[in-house]
Amino acid sequence: MNIYADNAATTKMSKAAIEAMLPYFDQIYGNPSSLHSTGQYAAEALFMARKIIAEILGCDAREITFTSGGSEADNQAIVSAASIGAKKGKKHIISSAIEHHAVLHTLEKLKKQGFEITLLDAHENGIVRPEELAAAIRPDTALVTIMYANNEIGSIQPIAELGKICREKGVIFHTDAVQAVGHVKINVVEDNIDMLSLSAHKFHGPKGIGVLYAKKGIPLTNLIEGGAQERGKRAGTENLPAIMGMAAALKEAVSDIDENTAKLIPLRDRLIEGLLQIPHTVLNGDPKLRLPGNANVCFEGIEGESLLLLLDSKGICASSGSACTSDSLDPSHVLLAIGRPHEVAHGSLRLSLSEENTIEEIDYMIEAIKEVVAYLRNMSPVWRDLQEGKRSYVIQ
Amino acid sequence: MLYSEKVMDHFTNPRNVGVIENADGVGEVGNAKCGDIMKIYLKIENDIIADVKFETFGCGSAIASSSMATEMIKGKPLSEALTLTNKAVAEALDGLPAHKLHCSVLAEEAVKAAVKDYYDKNGIEYDHAIFPDCASCGHCETGECH
């Protein structure tokens, strides 16, 4: 049995995406910047892909910039908005405590350059409160950047509402929508979004390709200098096979979104319900306002890396916010931000489903996880102390 | 693969897991905040480690390090157990990734803490220099794990 439940890390490519890419390796392989017809066929394909993606997002094709992925798009969005702000003497940026490191580390860099950063609380359910955003905006606020949906705990932010507040106050609003695009319905006009980042490999497209949407009138700052590709805002010959694969994957994900959501939510809720039967287990993130495929829990008394290794030996691919799964000694900043103490955050498990998972797989995972948690608790001195009353349970 | 076959073997089939009731020496090191705690129980007969058990809260390499350390000291005189180094534990496991070396340090410390507990309980004189205080490890500085 091999069950892939780590779709928030990356997804398997869809057949449609693979097929869409193939002609662009050895048939339509020209450089879109070349004047000859081989190049111009490639330029036409590039134009079509841009148009497809723009239509899906609800914007103009000229507002789409292809990047190497979500991290680059986040970096470029933030640096661009900061540069626009700085020119007007605005050096304050608002974000949230649960953003991806592509956002947080870029903000850290700007802080060293004299920007002031406010990180909004995401509260226990992992959701930012619009009234707290409204209160945090100042006359010198250059940018608000809040992720659409969280990569670890799956919580979905009230993006349209947050965007509306920013629009009323005349502040640029960026959203890192890497986990949301292709999984929840997004329209940049209806959602009041000025800038948006997405990454193809999170919706069954290829790795190494993404998009930065920037509303007309928001000039981008180059991260990569060179040729005049992407209206001079992102140099380098376009990765046409990947762009074609991304457009095909996005088209398919969006056209199947209702069907996939209807399938995934019951699977997700069955999984969460099964995991919560394990004593002293808590759900991370909001029970309803969460990505259709995301389940994330903390088990008290055990550590996440050993849990992942044992699940892997049972054929289950999952993820954890434990420090031991990274090079750092601190557990996930997201779990800490929603109030989980260190010792509990170390025992987290994220299962992120795709529409390919089955109900049989869900039931197998629940049983396997129950077994592994009991096994690890049985050898855990922390669990013994909890049971003997020498230590108090954090999770009731 | 992140870990050697030896680490995976000791992680998936750990030796000497459990508790010794009325143990002669018990050593607990680490901090739940930092994600690892190791507890070692010793049964001592005539200065020999007649039995040893462990409990560990931690990652795969922490569990494997505890298992290996207990194997290395079982049946050995206390004086020999005290010479166990983290390096020896890591080597016996065919190496640990750099950021996991502190797990082998914990194993060494847990063994030493258990022996010290035995000495203290029985009023046995010993050289304090062989038991470094917790602060020297730096793993859990001020309990913040930074």
Instruction: Tell me the per-residue pLDDT of A141-156, one tens digit each, with 9 for 90 and over.
Output: 999 999 999 999 999 9
User: Is the CB of residue B36 less than 8 Å away from at least one CB of chain A?
Assistant: yes
Helix (H) or strand (E) holding A239: none
DSSP class of A228: -
**What's residue B32's pLDDT?**
85
Mean pLDDT across chain A, nearest whole number? 97
Q: Which is the catalytic residue, given B34, B59, B134, B137?
A: B34
* pLDDT, averaged across chain B: 89
Task: Tell me whether B33 touches chain A (CB under 8 Å).
Answer: yes
Q: What angle do CA A229, A231, A233 make, to 5 degrees?
A: 80
- In this prediction the ipTM stands at 0.90
DSSP characters over A166-221: HHHHT-EEEEE-TTTBTTB---TTTTT-SEEEEEGGGGTS-SS-EEEEE-TT-PPP
Q: How far is CA A363 from the centre of its chain?
A: 26
Q: Give the residue-averaged pLDDT of A213-242.
A: 97
Residues of A in contact with B57 (CB under 8 A): 301-303, 380-383
Q: What residues of chain B lie within 8 A of the CB of A303, using their CB?
A: 35-36, 57-59, 62
pLDDT 10s digits, A21-41: 999 999 999 999 999 999 999
**pLDDT given at position B145:** 45
Q: Give the confidence band of B2 by pLDDT, cuts at 50, 70, 90.
A: confident
User: Are A303 and B58 within 8 A, CB to CB?
Assistant: yes
Q: Phi, psi at residue A277, to the nearest 5°?
A: -70, -20
What is the least distance, in Å, from the CA of B16 to any CA of chain A?
Answer: 10
Q: Which residue of A has its CA nearest to B59?
A: A306
* Residue type for position A291: L
**pLDDT computed for residue B144 by the predictor:** 42
Q: Is B137 a catalytic residue?
A: no
- Contacts A346 to B, Cβ<8 Å: 32, 35
pLDDT tens by residue, B17-31: 999 999 999 999 998
Residue B33 is predicted with a pLDDT of: 86
